[in-house]
Amino acid sequence: MDEILTPVVLPMLLSHPGAIYQQDNAQPHTARLTQQCLQGYDVLPWPARSSDLSPIEHVWDVLGRQLWPSWNTGELTAQLQRLWHDLPQVIGELIDSMPRCVSACIAARGGFTTY
């Protein structure tokens, strides 16, 4: 909480009126102290066992599919720099897809979706 929530997340939420915070059901996120700290902020409810709403899962998937085996650190570095350069576009597309993803998840009542 002292490393992320208080110094990073709360100021970000304050600087973006109307923002909705998303987190999974990991134990640190559901702790009473965390919940108390987030009172007064919009937090997106998270369906149990659903990675459908996690943009970072999709980022890791994209990176994993585009990263091919490298035989030396130079190759690996070049690949990672290329992927890092393209990452803002990937993240932007994921952010743009979130309303559709959330709607699909609601329609599926928290079950499987194509996202």
pTM of the model: 0.52
49 phi-psi bin (left φ>0, alpha ψ -120 to 50, beta other): left
The pLDDT tens digits for 85-94 are 988 998 899 8
**What are the residue boundaries of the structural domains of the chain, listed by start?**
1-46, 47-114
pLDDT mean across residues, the chain: 86
The pLDDT tens digits for 48-86 are 666 567 778 888 888 889 888 888 999 999 999 999 898
DSSP string, 17-81: TT-EEE----HHHHSHHHHHHTTTSEEE---TT--TT-HHHHHHHHHHHHPPP-SSHHHHHHHHH
